[in-house]
Structure 1
Amino acid sequence: MQRQQLSQSTSTINVELVRSIPETDKCFNKTSAFVKGSVVPPYNVIVASWPSPDGPDPNGCRMSLAAGPEDGSLSKLLDTWSYSNASAAHGIKIREIGGSTLVYFTDLVADALWAHKMDRLTGRAVVMFREQAEAGSHTRHPRIHPAGKYLYVLMEVANAITEYSVDEKTGWSSSRHRDGRFFQRTMFTITMTTTGGGADGISPADFSDEYAILTDHPRGYVEMEGIKQGKHGLESVTRDRALGVIHLGRPSRLRDCWPNHKKECRRPNYIIEFHLSPEDIKDPPVKRTLSCQADPAFEDLHSALQDAFGWASTHSYDFAVLDPSYDATAIDMFQMMENRRAMSQPSGTNMNPASAQRENVMRVKPKGHHIDSMHEGQRRHPRTLQKWADKFKMWQMFDNEEWKGFKTVYVYDFGDNWEHYVTVVGREPPLEVENFRCLSGEGYNVVEDVGSIRGWKRLKEAYAAANPTKGQRENMEWFETECSNKRP
């Protein structure tokens, strides 16, 4: 009945072409794809295009047009601009802040989010920032929360939503975004009537949360979607076509096979913060926050951390649960070597238990990695439980009630002894996504093989020196020619 009423009400509406404005200048011979109008005077209209193979360059184009204040009819072209890289718009969002108009574009080809500040009178647009997404994620359809604090971007290939925090005064989007799975739960799923592909789009109604409109690309029609409040939350409304809200994360297959999953597959993801040498690296700190599935082995977590921090994977590592009575201050490897020389100990002997050996309750180490006796002795107490990194699962450590509240560390490079403090800060639903996803980060990583904290500080002092010494110049030359992770 609702569908019939909709048809009857629209049958009396006549649509006619009033005026068209040809694309010129930078937008000449491009393929217009998206249009959005401002809701405040003078009601400028923004148009964005795909790259055109027949045009002078492959770059996506944007332009602003003036609309009549009375009836909204277009009057003239105000501004055009393009980008230096191959770009293709796949979504526009306009936000009005005070006397400024902010325009956000999602760039499907360049995997980026662009933001512009537009002069309302002249229509001139200035780029405020470009936020780069993960390569190949295909950014689409930006949306801003009504409160204005968050901007959401659909990642087509990643099948996820990225949440960006937005400065309420300036409109700038923070690079410290949460990439992926911040939904609490899936209410329900439906089966699409056609492909359910990326070209379909769903838009909730502005006037009610009970309706949404779906553009069905293969069939070429617009479909009404309906939902209602039921006994157990939101429920779909059964009609002659698919009704409901399409959620991300491929939840329908997860729900269908849920009873058959292994117990560990149903464990929620861990949200884990990794903090590098917090006592020594503070301004700024070096942190990464990852969403981690519970089932991968620690060998997989090590690989993810190498990518997240920018390490070069040239040294061994381990994960350890520390005895609560142990002072977790990072071990000074320089001091240990000086003590060893002072005692005339050969480098292959075990550490003096009274001075350097720590009591690890449990240790996970890689199989097949050679660890010399000096470092092996320092890292293992006779009572330490040892596991292989390729077999021991993350949930076996983080869900172990016996170790609740114990400190956990990830150590990379036993020579420089880079300690990352490991803290589980939350849990989230076990959606079917990658094993690991970096949610946020802070600070550039340190340089590999630089000589621990002292060497890192010396290298920074060398670059800060107005007249570097011979030793400082040699240090800088080593970094520029031999360092294995110049861009951590």
Structure 2
Amino acid sequence: MATTRTLQPNYIVKFDLLPREITNPPISRTLSCPAEATFYQLHKALQIAFGWATTHCFEFEASRPRPRPPLPLHPRLQQQPSHPLPPPPAAEAEADLPPAPPLRVVDPDEEPLDFEPNMPGFPQPPNPTEKKANRFKLRQFFEDPAYAGYEMVYSYDFGDGWEHEMALLGTHVEDDGGGNNNASADANANANAVTTNHFVCVGGTGHPAAEDAGGSFGWEKLKEAYGAGRPDAEQRYLRRWFEKMCSNGSARGLAGARVDEWHREGVNQVLAGMKILKNFDRLRREQQQQQEEGEGEGEDEDEEGEVDVNYLV
């Protein structure tokens, strides 16, 4: 009897919203993520966890950070400072470029980008590989050695620029009896591994940021408006906007400790209804049965080497 593909443990992934700009308080969420989930399902889970209203475009972008050593002074800079300098050599221009995104995981409805041709004297990084979010699974990114060391960012609303930095903390393991229900980087911790058919929010900080606030700058201005003892006209308007017009606002406002409030229980109630696989229970029963019978370790795979599972979008 051939075996069914093993359902992998959930990943524990932390998401920090603009961590160098939003610090008081920081806004973060830590999710237990099913390995078989697609990036489109992760997008939907992040919208729920961060309280976004799903009214803008999104993408995931991954790149390997590259050191950028300081460029040496061009010889002509000291000899003829008043004359225009020639184009920098290719190596120098390349060193001054930001890290190239080798992978973009995009909205299934997004049209492919039309990249600009290279400019003479300023070589451009290679065009990134694009994958549709509803066809690319979390395990295909996290388990692929080609992406080892890559950093991924989830971007939402390209106008406001809400960037969520992702950090893989490990795999989800059960409480060991001492209250330690956390991530484990030990590949041999599968005895207590947690495998679920939905995302679970296991931690976080900070009230959800306001949709269409104008990015981190607008969010800080909004918090200042609620912290003002004698708000001016602009601050009174910002309060009314958040309480009555903002798509993810609240009539309770952000005064006092409310800027720290978020509701993990409510988030998890919604996430629990977002199932990943239609046949998850059958796959898990088969896996448990095979473990009990101690049969071989082969896998039934389709032509592309993928497990035959049905997804819920």
Q: TM-score, normalised by structure 1?
A: 0.37
**Aligned pair partner of 1:285 in 17, 26, 42:** 26
Deviation of 1:261 after TM superposition, in Å, equals 2.0
Higher RCO by CA contacts (8 Å cutoff, separation 6 or greater): 2
Q: Secondary structure at the match of 1:360?
A: coil
CA deviation string 1:438-468 (max 9, x = no partner): 1112221211100001111111111222222
> Contact 2:29/2:204 (CA < 8 Å) preserved in 1?
yes
The residue number in structure 1 matching 2:248 is 485
| 1:116-131 aligned within 5 A | none
Deviation of 1:282 after TM superposition, in Å, equals 1.7
2:66 and 2:156 map into 1 onto residues whose CA distance is 23
1:354 and 1:470 map into 2 onto residues whose CA distance is 48
Report the residue type matching 1:442 in the other structure: T
Report the residue type matching 2:157 in the other structure: D
Q: Computing the radius of gyration over CA atoms, which structure comes out larger, 1 or 2?
A: 1
The residue number in structure 1 matching 2:150 is 406
Q: Secondary structure at the match of 1:278?
A: coil
Runs of 4+ in 1 over 3 A off after TM superposition: 353-358, 369-374, 428-432
* Cα distance change on mapping 1:326 and 1:423 into 2, 3 Å: same
Deviation of 1:371 after TM superposition, in Å, equals 9.4
> Contact 2:65/2:150 (CA < 8 Å) preserved in 1?
yes
Deviation of 1:381 after TM superposition, in Å, equals 6.1
- Identity over aligned pairs, percent: 39
* Cα distance change on mapping 1:468 and 1:289 into 2, 3 Å: same
* Cα distance change on mapping 1:371 and 1:386 into 2, 3 Å: closer
The residue number in structure 2 matching 1:393 is 137
The residue number in structure 2 matching 1:453 is 216
Q: Which has the higher strand share?
A: 1
Q: Secondary structure at the match of 2:221?
A: helix
The residue number in structure 1 matching 2:47 is 306
| 1:3-402 aligned within 5 A | 260-262=3-5, 265-325=6-66, 359-369=100-110, 382-402=126-146
Q: Secondary structure at the match of 2:102?
A: strand
2:112 and 2:47 map into 1 onto residues whose CA distance is 19
Q: Which has the higher helix share?
A: 2
* Cα distance change on mapping 1:373 and 1:280 into 2, 3 Å: farther
Q: Which ranges of structure 2 fall in alignment gaps of 5 or more residues?
A: 69-93, 116-123, 173-189, 251-261, 263-313
Q: Secondary structure at the match of 1:462?
A: helix
Report the residue type matching 1:260 in the other structure: T
Report the residue type matching 1:476 in the other structure: R
* Cα distance change on mapping 1:354 and 1:471 into 2, 3 Å: farther
Deviation of 1:284 after TM superposition, in Å, equals 2.2
Q: Secondary structure at the match of 1:266?
A: coil
* Cα distance change on mapping 1:282 and 1:387 into 2, 3 Å: same
2:98 and 2:203 map into 1 onto residues whose CA distance is 34
Equivalent pairs, count: 199
After superposition, the CA RMSD in angstroms is: 3.0
Deviation of 1:435 after TM superposition, in Å, equals 2.6
Report the residue type matching 1:486 in the other structure: G
Deviation of 1:268 after TM superposition, in Å, equals 2.4
> Contact 1:291/1:437 (CA < 8 Å) preserved in 2?
yes
> Contact 1:316/1:371 (CA < 8 Å) preserved in 2?
no
2:233 and 2:126 map into 1 onto residues whose CA distance is 46
Q: Secondary structure at the match of 2:108?
A: coil
> Contact 1:326/1:359 (CA < 8 Å) preserved in 2?
no
1:456 and 1:420 map into 2 onto residues whose CA distance is 15
The residue number in structure 1 matching 2:229 is 466
CA deviation string 1:134-169 (max 9, x = no partner): xxxxxxxxxxxxxxxxxxxxxxxxxxxxxxxxxxxx
Deviation of 1:355 after TM superposition, in Å, equals 9.9
CA deviation string 1:209-254 (max 9, x = no partner): xxxxxxxxxxxxxxxxxxxxxxxxxxxxxxxxxxxxxxxxxxxxxx
Q: Which ranges of structure 1 fall in alignment gaps of 5 or more residues?
A: 1-256, 328-352, 375-379
CA deviation string 1:422-447 (max 9, x = no partner): 11101134655233111112221211
The residue number in structure 1 matching 2:288 is none
